[in-house]
Amino acid sequence: MAASSLYKTQELKIYNSISGQKEVFTPITEGNIGMYVCGPTVYSNVHLGNCRTFISFDLIFRYLKHLDYKVRYVRNITDAGHLENDADEGEDKVAKKARLEQLEPMEIVQRYTLDFHQVMDKFNAFPPSIEPTATGHIIEQIEIIKTIIDNGFAYESNGSIYFDVQKFNKTNHYGKLSGRNLEDMIANTRELSAQSDKKNPQDFALWKKADPQHIMRWPSPWSDGFPGWHLECTVMSTKYLGERFDIHGGGMDLKFPHHECEIAQGEAACGQTPVNYWMHANMLTLNGKKMSKSTGNTISPEELFSGNNDILNKAFDPAIVRFFMLQAHYRSILDFSNDALEASEKGYHKLMEAIQTNKSITPDQETTGFNVQAWRQECYNAMNDDFNSPILIAKLFDAVKFINTIKEQKTTISAEDHQLLSKTISAFVFDVLGLVNANETSSDIGDKLSGTVDLLINLRAEARINKDFATSDKIRDKLLEIGIQLKDGREGTSFSIN
């Protein structure tokens, strides 16, 4: 890495879930970072809670890249093995949706993977470096199960393979990430049902023998079946990032049992803990209550963007929703409400207007009333403190205030400081926070719409000259159907959008 790499001058601290405190970040290999984030299970449209997690890790990915780290960001797609509950029971979520809709499971996977990508694209999130799937790594999952069996931490029962948690806990600590104690877990667990294949309730599936009606199945040395949900992440993270890597992220809800099981699998297979820094993003609530499809207290990204919902007063642009999410720290609970979104919308427009104003500023001989160099470092200090985006945004608004005082000719800025201010704002607003200027986007769309309607007006005028009134009326009526009304007058034809 070049000596000018930013990470050499900035000390980054990350809150590590496993230690419960902020730690100075030191990558395993200088200048390089391996980061794995648990992706979606693609059996339904992505929900806003998922989006918040992925936007949080997009912010982290962007800042690490901004610091000149070379980052390999792996985020998986779960397309098999995720059963309806965490007790290794119930139907596969993808297979169940396929059965209900009378489709092939891979049609369900394709549909909802595309939906996930489209929504994240609207939020201006970078795609990961690698996006592997569970079904694409069945062979590797079978191989790691063999290793765990050989190491004495798993057993076969009626064609299924289970991880032996009690045996593992004799030499390792099962529960260290979530702060749980195995003895307490055992004391609080009900007896196993008579038909269970497990030795103990805490044991979890590495491979499940498929029932006759189970659609998604693969051959293995033990049975025709499918891998356990926790296994895919151990396999894909170690395949692409190595047996030990820098950062593992996901939603807070995955801490137990999913991530706890990943640690156990990694230690049982490789003899070492797989991850140096565990990071967990917190959840979203809606109007102060947990988001839930069953209670109807939920809203999809598409309903949010279109305004087609009964919860909010209007539609909100994806850039504003992203800005709203980043106004809360990724580890804090964030409540969605109409008032909060409208407040964010005002702040967002104020920020974008100041960026526009800054472009037209004429520098002076000196800077008065604002230390640009110190302010720039304060922006870095915010992000270096466990990616504290709300503090960063507050610092950006300090610059907004300064820009407006220059506009009002109450203060001045030197050419050198103006260049540094402009460069820093652009880097943090667009590169790190990943915001786009919705004002520019909508005006660009407006220009294209005007050009298209003008073209249709000209075609209609030609049709009328040629006495082709059927085509002329068709153009007018079709435009009216989509809310564009043509008005014929002495000056020509104009249009309005209803």
- pLDDT tens digits, one per residue of 169-180: 999 999 999 999
Let me know whether 224 and 291 are in one domain. Answer: no
Residue 273 tokens read as 């803990």
**Residue 173 lies inside a defined structural domain of this protein:** yes
Helix axes 318-326, 48-66, angle to 10 degrees: 70
- The two three-digit tokens of residue 23, written as one number: 């730690």
Shared domain for 50 and 27, answered yes or no, is: yes
Domain contains 66: yes
Looking at the structure of the chain, the number of domains it has is: 3
Single-letter code of the amino acid located at 7: Y
Q: Residue 190 — pLDDT band, cuts 50, 70, 90? A: confident
Instruction: Kindly report which listed range (51-60, 94-103, 150-159, 426-435) carries the lowest average pLDDT score.
Output: 94-103
| Pair 226, 95 in one domain | yes
CA atoms within 13 A on the CB side of 212: 0
Does residue 444 have a pLDDT over 60?
Answer: no
- DSSP state for residue 178 in the 8-state scheme: T
Instruction: Answer left, alpha or beta for residue 287, where phi above 0 means left and psi between -120 and 50 means alpha.
Output: left
Domain shared by 89 and 207, yes or no:
yes
Whether the CB-CB separation of 75 and 37 falls below 8 Å is answered with yes
Same domain, 420 and 446: no
Q: 440 pLDDT exceeds 90?
A: no
* 353 belongs to a structural domain: yes
Give the end-to-end CA distance of the chain in Å, rounded to a whole number.
56
Residue pair 391/382 in contact by the 8 Å Cβ criterion: yes
Based on the fold, state whether residues 277 and 289 are members of the same structural domain: no
H or E segment and range at residue 61: helix 48-66
Q: Are 76 and 39 in contact (CB under 8 A)?
A: yes
> Tell me, what's the pLDDT at 293?
66
194 vs 408, residue with greater confidence: 408
**Interval 360-385 mean pLDDT:** 97
pLDDT of residue 227 exceeding 50, the answer is: yes
Distance CA 213, CA 220 (A): 18
| 272, 369: one domain | no
Among 234, 265, 281, the domain-final residue is 281
Residue 450 has pLDDT above 50, yes or no: yes
Give me the CATH number covering residue 398.
1.20.120.640
Q: Is residue 467 part of a domain?
A: yes
| 3-class state of residue 255 by DSSP | helix
Residue 246 clears pLDDT 50, i.e. is over it: yes
Residues with Cβ < 8 Å from 120, sequence gap 6 or more?
46, 51, 54, 58, 127
Task: Give residue 315's region: left, alpha or beta (phi > 0; psi -120 to 50).
Answer: beta
Judge if 303 and 263 occupy the same domain: no
Sheet of 334-336, strands arranged across? 289-290, 284-286, 334-336
- 8 A C-beta contact, residue 162 and residue 153: no
pLDDT for residue 147 is more than 60: yes
User: Span 18-30, mean pLDDT?
Assistant: 98
Question: pLDDT of 77-106, one tens digit each?
Answer: 999 989 887 668 888 999 999 999 999 999
Contact 463, 475 (CB under 8 A): yes
Same-domain status, 273 and 297 = no
Residue 415 scores a pLDDT above 60: yes
- Count of CA atoms in the C-beta half-sphere (13 A) of 359: 6
Among the candidates 226, 257, 281, a domain finishes at 281
User: Which residues are registered as beta bridge partners of 251?
Assistant: 281
Structure tokens at 267: 């230690």
Q: Which two tokens stand for residue 193?
A: 């049902």
Residue 334 lies in a domain: yes
Q: Which domain holds residue 442?
A: 438-497
Together in a domain, 49 and 131: yes
1 falls within a domain: no
Most confident of 49-53, 290-294, 421-425: 421-425
The answer to the question of residue 292 being in a domain is yes
Q: What is the CATH number of the domain that holds 244?
A: 3.40.50.620
State which of 384, 407, 432 marks the end of a domain: 432
**Do the Cβ atoms of 237 and 258 come closer than 8 Å?**
no
Residue-level pLDDT at 498: 61
Percent of the chain with pLDDT over 70: 96
Residue 310 vs residue 221, higher pLDDT: 221
Q: Which of 76-80, 267-271, 486-490 has the lowest mean pLDDT?
A: 486-490
pLDDT of residue 442: 56
Based on the fold, state whether residues 58 and 175 are members of the same structural domain.
yes
Q: Are residues 159 and 299 in the same domain?
A: no
Within a domain: 317: yes
